[in-house]
Amino acid sequence: MAESAWSVLPPLITIALALWTKEVYMSLIIGIFSGAMFFTGGNILESILTMFAVMADKVGSNVNILVFLVILGILVAAITRSGATRAYGEWAARSIRGKRSASLVTALLGLVIFIDDYFNCLTVGTVMRPVTDKFKIARTKLAYIIDATAAPICIIAPVSSWAAAVGSSLPEGSNIDGFSLFLQTIPFNLYAWLTLLFMVFIIWTGRDYGTMAKSVRESNENFVIPKEYQDTTGIKHEEEGNGKIIDLLLPLFVLIAACVYGMLYTGGIHEGKSIADAFANCDSSKSLVLGSFIAFIFTGFLYLPRKVISFNAFCDSFGWGFKAMTPAIFILCLAWTLSGICSDKYLNLGGFVGGIVSANASLIMFLPPIFFLVAMGLAFATGTSWGTFGILIPIAVAVVGTDPNMLVVCVAAVLSGAVGGDHASPISDTTILASAGAQCHHIDHVDTQLPYVLTVGACCLIGYAVGGITANGWIGLGASLACLAAAMAVIVAKVPSLEKE
């Protein structure tokens, strides 16, 4: 059943069950097992062995991400126990005037941290969650802002781990400079630009709609921390240290600086490579582990000699931090396993989709919207943007490689659709980490974000259709902006503001 229509079923089963039951763990387990059953031809025992073999392989290859999550959780717990987070929250409550300002500051921080989406999701949530909680901003709204400034920022930032992923997706022997191609796609990555504009519009006007509007109303009336995170945030004031704002800012500054240096180091900056080459060739997961561990050690030396926090309280943060990250770690492990079941070693979902695209590539003017839709669907089903790049970019090069202008638009459509599908997918690691950063129920985040993704995605589809017909990406960009402006006008006319200053 590999590389056939059956390969589509496991992710579809997972997503349908997750949205229906709101139970993401069981939905993922059922989806994984169904995929293993398809692969083994219905042999239950072999399916169980296959499921755990894939899990062992995927978790093993991503162990650095898990270590980073644990260290970051411990670091966050230590900062909270020190009292620095409370001090920062009290300062922010005095300085930031209202929900709009708090949301805009959150978005601005997300724009600044463009190096890596994992790092972005968790850092922005850690810093801004105490502030947004004080203003009763819905955790789902915080998760949307975090998610909207993670992958969409990374995919248009020349210096990021995503730029390297795009360059590495080009087929060997194509004689195309991956970094140069990536730079050319930036203006035409419609989903990234329109998502950022739409997010600012939603923040500024407060005109939430769909399931997000219900969530915002509930938070305005009765702000509640999701039950899975209630016992991880229950540190009492009398248990906190005497930390100041500087005890929050210094560890975060060291964390950011150390992670950036880690990317340069693993990319070979000390071996004579340029900064751009070092970022392009870095191992981002190793870099995050290196940076987070350096920040953790620095925090210990910052707190303990000054008696900001007791040694026992500092050690207690190990358990608190690990516990806070457990939901994200569990979901990530299951999502990676589902992705592995759908990979070319097993069901080969990408090969099935790629074959369909290649067989219907005769009308070149319709390729940009086709690539956008296929990329969005594939990323939604598999939960991986990078995997979608690796499958569809070589196909785009093979089909339109002789037309440089159309190649740029088609690759931009692939990148745009991959980020859009990843943004909407309940099994995407970035979506999972945005939920973890905001500490909101994961399926609630997916539910509330989906209407916004579909609104922006529809505008992008029209833009790529116009860009393909005219063979001009700039005209397509203009068409998509006009569609977004029209959508905003309708929202202003029909949707009341829920978060007035």
The single-letter code of the amino acid at 454 is: L
Q: Alpha-carbon Rg of the chain, whole angstroms?
A: 22
Which has the closest alpha carbon to 302: 75, 55, 70?
A: 75
- Per-residue model confidence (pLDDT) at position 417: 93
Tokens of residue 190, six digits: 């419609």
CB atoms within 10 A of CB 333: 15
Q: Is 182 helix (H, G, I), strand (E, B) or coil?
A: helix
pTM over 0.75: no
Question: Residue 66: its pLDDT value, please?
Answer: 85
AA letter at 272: G
> What is the rounded CA–CA span in Å between residue 473 and residue 406?
8
CA dist., res. 147 & res. 195, Å (int): 10
pLDDT 10s per residue in the chain (501 long)?
Answer: 667 778 888 878 877 787 677 676 788 899 899 999 999 988 999 999 999 999 999 888 888 878 887 887 888 788 878 888 777 767 776 778 788 888 888 888 788 766 567 667 777 887 788 888 888 888 999 999 999 988 888 788 765 556 656 665 565 555 666 667 788 889 999 999 999 999 999 999 989 999 999 989 888 888 777 766 665 555 544 456 788 888 888 988 888 788 889 888 988 889 888 887 787 677 777 888 898 899 999 999 999 999 998 898 899 889 888 887 787 688 778 878 887 887 778 888 767 766 766 665 556 778 899 889 988 988 888 777 777 776 777 777 767 766 778 888 988 999 999 999 988 888 887 888 888 888 888 889 999 999 999 999 999 999 999 998 888 889 999 999 999 999 999 999 998 887 654
pLDDT score of 177: 63
Tokens of 464: 């790529």
Q: CA-to-CA distance for 261 and 263, rounded, in angstroms?
A: 5
Alpha-carbon gap, residue 440 to 224, rounded angstroms: 10
Q: What one-character DSSP code corresponds to residue 171?
A: P
Helix, strand, coil percentages, rounded to 5, for the chain:
80, 0, 20
First to last CA, the chain: 56
Judge contact between 300 and 314, C-beta under 8 A: yes
